[in-house]
Amino acid sequence: MGTMFGVGAALLGACVGSFLNVVIWRLQQVDPAKRSLLGRSHCPHCGAVIPWFLNVPVLSWLALRGRAACCGKPIAVRYPFVEALTAVLFWALAAWGTAAPFAVTAEHAVVVDAAAAATWSARATFLSLLVALSFIDFDTQLLPDALTKPGLALGLAAGVWPGVAGELGDDPTVAPALRSALAGVVGAGVGGGVTWAIRALGSAVFRREAMGFGDVKLMAMIGAFLGWRSALLTMLLGCVAGAIFGGLGLLFGGSARIPFGPYLALGAVAALFFGDAIADLLLVTWPEWQRANAGSQWALAGMASAALVLLFVLVRRARRSG
């Protein structure tokens, strides 16, 4: 049943990814009539309606060799990539991201765990939002309220099921559902609050907007789904990923404008699947390694100095380009 659940989750993810392609494309349209998520899928080039048998995730793109059947124009490889990415994320969520929402008894009866099903569905929705927001931010450097605000509301609502955002405290006199709901509320406050503070500090230092307010709302959404500890870990991992990939992009001639949302999303995915292992590495294994190696502090100081110099160069270049 575990294998069957994983395969089913991957197929569901591919179908959700196909819908996310629609979300990503339509929310970027200027014309309000084209921003509606209702209606049949249609070709972005000629507007022809796409029949269902040509809208099968990944397979249709491969069968058509990356070209639209209606007008012959190329279909971006992003479409099957988003579908495959969402399928992999859903499969990972089924494999080790949360408890299986159902089980088979010795009598071959299927028993559904309502709480586990709700948790799995909430986290699958969370991952879907991260995928859509990441690709929109890559294209527009914007994180639309149409996704972040409903995502924040869903994250807070999902807190009624223990296990979605963890639990705040361990007081046995407080109901687990209430502790979980409070964890979502505190997580949203910490995620959004810390990001707002960083945004304000960066804007004051550089005398220009250092981070969009959409990032604040995104981090509030992440905190609502994952809790305050994972929100802080997400911010740390997002900053590291943004510095590495954004820095490499700038050094090799990329744009000076670095969308932060995709790196926060990457950090959130890492925190969801590997949060405990990463926390153990940072808080236990790493300090023990430092104590066992007396010269490690000098190596760390050297790397930190080099990183600061690189960051200074990148910031100056970005400010000139902006």
For residue 104, list its beta bridge partners.
110
Q: Specify the amino acid at residue 180.
A: S
Q: What is the pLDDT of residue 5?
A: 84
User: Helix (H) and strand (E) counts for the chain?
Assistant: 11, 2
Q: Specify the amino acid at residue 52.
A: W
DSSP symbols for 302-320: HHHHHHHHHHHHHHHHHHH
Residue range 132-143, pLDDT digits in tens: 999 999 999 899
* Residue 47 parent element (H or E): none
For residue 111, list its beta bridge partners.
103
pTM, to two decimals:
0.86
CA atoms within 13 A on the CB side of 191: 35
For residue 102, list its beta bridge partners.
112
Q: What is the pLDDT of residue 118?
A: 84
Torsion angle, alpha carbons of 13, 84, 66, 248, to 10: 140
Region of poorest pLDDT, from 5-19, 81-95, 242-256 = 242-256
255: pLDDT strictly greater than 70: no
Average pLDDT over residues 222-235: 93
Q: What is the pLDDT of residue 257?
A: 64
Average pLDDT over residues 247-266: 76
DSSP symbols for 29-41: -SSGGGS---S--
Q: Which of 42-46, 151-155, 158-162 has the highest mean pLDDT?
A: 151-155
319: pLDDT strictly greater than 60: no
Describe the chain by its helix, strand, coil percentages, rounded to 5: 70, 5, 25
Would you say 127 and 86 are in contact if contact means Cβ atoms under 8 Å apart? yes
Q: CA 214, 82, 56 angle in degrees (round to 5)?
A: 135
Q: Please, what's the b/e burial string for 20-57 (b: 16 or more CB within 10 A of its CB; e: otherwise)? A: bbbbbbbbeeeeeeeeeeeeebebbeeeeebeeebbeb
Q: What is the pLDDT of residue 135?
A: 96
Average pLDDT over residues 198-206: 77
Which residues, in sequence order, are CB contacts of 111 under 8 Å at separation 6+? 102, 103, 104, 105
Residue range 27-44, pLDDT digits in tens: 988 777 677 777 788 888
If DSSP codes are grouped into helix, strand and coil, which group holds residue 82? helix
Q: What is the pLDDT of residue 61?
A: 92
Region of poorest pLDDT, from 19-33, 98-112, 223-237, 272-286 = 98-112
Average pLDDT over residues 197-211: 74
Q: What is the pLDDT of residue 113?
A: 72
191: pLDDT strictly greater than 80: yes
155: pLDDT strictly greater than 90: yes
Q: Which two tokens stand for residue 2?
A: 């575990």
Q: What is the pLDDT of residue 206?
A: 66
Looking at residue 157, what DSSP letter applies?
H
- Going by pLDDT thresholds of 50, 70 and 90, the confidence category of residue 203 is confident
Q: Which two tokens stand for residue 61?
A: 């793109």
